[in-house]
Copies of this chain bind each other. A is one copy, B any other.
Amino acid sequence: MALVVQKYGGSSVSDAERIKNVARRIAKAKDRGDRVVVVVSAMGDTTDELVRLAYQVSEHPGDRELDVLLSTGEIVSSTLLAMTLRDMGYKAISLSGAQAGIRTDAAYSRARILKVETRRVVEELKKGRIVIVAGFQGTTDEMDVTTLGRGGSDTTAVALAASLGAEVCQIYTDVEGVHTADPRLIPEARKLAEIGYEEMLELASYGAKVMHPRAVELGELFNIPILVASSFTDSSGTLIHGGVSMEVRNKVRSIAHDLDVAKITVVGVPDRPGIAAAIFQSLAKAGISVDTIVQNASIENITDLTFTVTESQLAKAMRLVRPIAKSIGARECLSDAKLGKVSIIGTGMQNTPGYAARMFGALSERGINIQLIATSEIRITCIIDEVKVKDAVRALHHVFEMEVVE
């Protein structure tokens, strides 16, 4: 009798029909003899509607009050799901984050889970009940309600799975799993049966559309296998886990891309300590995230500093960087808004030479110019023209034989 934790996102429970559909999936797991804990998000747009209400009465809704307000969304969906299961003849009970023992710090709107007191959940499971837990929320020691911020319900699910010693944490969402490339861009992209935690994390924005990196990291930390699958079909999904074989034939696991990339180059920077810090601290203070950073080798103590931001933040970033560049005596500031990013990812690349060469070769064969290169141990990223991204992903998908089933 395995213990499984299932999580259903907001689009999976957006109306009564979908809630019934989810209930049938949960019932199936219960019928197989599993003990089932379910984590559920708020229905459809509920959270947005509650936020809208808050801003109707207050310009700056206090975080504490806003958290209590938002937490009602998941309570509504969890009770409706429990009712539905009971109506189908199953024993089910809904628990708020507080009742499920999710204890957090007091950082409202972005609380971190400190521990999970599983007493109540374990008791309810012993009574043979399906336990439906309101996701995205917890309480402080003072029993004040907090919400977990982005990726909150995924994180609730993985945290519960870890604390309860679940066999697997199943994340049901509106995509079929993790693919070798974004299937909306590359029709021949293939769904992966499995992927490693780190590979999943390196998928960055594409991966985050499937599952929040924070929850993936938590899964890695406690070594909880995470199945990502669609709540609308019966396809098998992708298992994110730590035991992915290092010897799989196809060592590039997935190709990630990003169309929203802009580049800033500060040309002719005197190469002395503190220059980079001045620039990046100023950007961080303004809430601008910098992605790839490259600094050329210094020639006669003069270097070029290049980094990327999102297109929407480019103008703001340039306004900040220009005066700093001037004050440090740099020659000029250049920018390019129409760039994209393509990455190949796979733990199999570690300590195996030749991947970078094959990637650069494939791009050059198609006349795609590489503007920047950045690498991690299991990822190689090239910044290229935005209009060439689709071409590049397709070429790499082919070169690394990713349409072939392992």
Question: A residues bordering B, Cβ < 8 Å?
Answer: 16, 19-20, 23, 50, 53-54, 56-62, 64-66, 68-69, 71-72, 75-76, 78-84, 86-87, 93-94, 96, 98-99, 143-145
Contact present for A58 and B87 (CB under 8 Å)? yes
Contact present for B94 and A57 (CB under 8 Å)? no
Provided the pairs A53-B16, A64-B93, A94-B65 are in contact, do residues A72 and B76 lie with their beta carbons within 8 angstroms?
Answer: yes
Q: How many copies does the complex hold?
A: 2
- 9 closest A-B pairs by beta carbon, nearest first, are A16-B56, A58-B87, A72-B72, A69-B79, A58-B83, A57-B84, A61-B83, A65-B79, A65-B83
User: What chain B residues lie within 8 Å of A60 (beta carbons)?
Assistant: 86-87
Contact present for A75 and B72 (CB under 8 Å)? yes
The contact of A83 among B54, B76, B99, by CB within 8 Å, is B54
User: What chain B residues lie within 8 Å of A81 (beta carbons)?
Assistant: 57
The contact of A143 among B76, B84, B99, B145, by CB within 8 Å, is B99
User: What chain B residues lie within 8 Å of A99 (beta carbons)?
Assistant: 143-144
Contact present for B76 and A58 (CB under 8 Å)? no
User: What chain B residues lie within 8 Å of A16 (beta carbons)?
Assistant: 53, 56-57
Contact present for A50 and B76 (CB under 8 Å)? yes
Q: Which of A57, A62, A64, A76 has the most CB of B within 10 A?
A: A57
Provided the pairs A57-B19, A57-B20 are in contact, do residues A66 and B79 lie with their beta carbons within 8 angstroms?
Answer: yes
Q: For the A-B complex with A61-B83, A65-B80, A71-B75 known, give 13 more contacts whose Cβ atoms are closer than 8 Å.
A: A16-B53, A57-B80, A58-B83, A60-B87, A61-B87, A62-B83, A62-B86, A65-B86, A65-B93, A66-B83, A69-B79, A72-B72, A96-B145
Contact present for A76 and B94 (CB under 8 Å)? no
Name the distance in Å between A372's Cβ and chain B's nearest Cβ.
45
Name the distance in Å between A123's Cβ and chain B's nearest Cβ.
10
Residue of B nearest to A59 (CB): B87
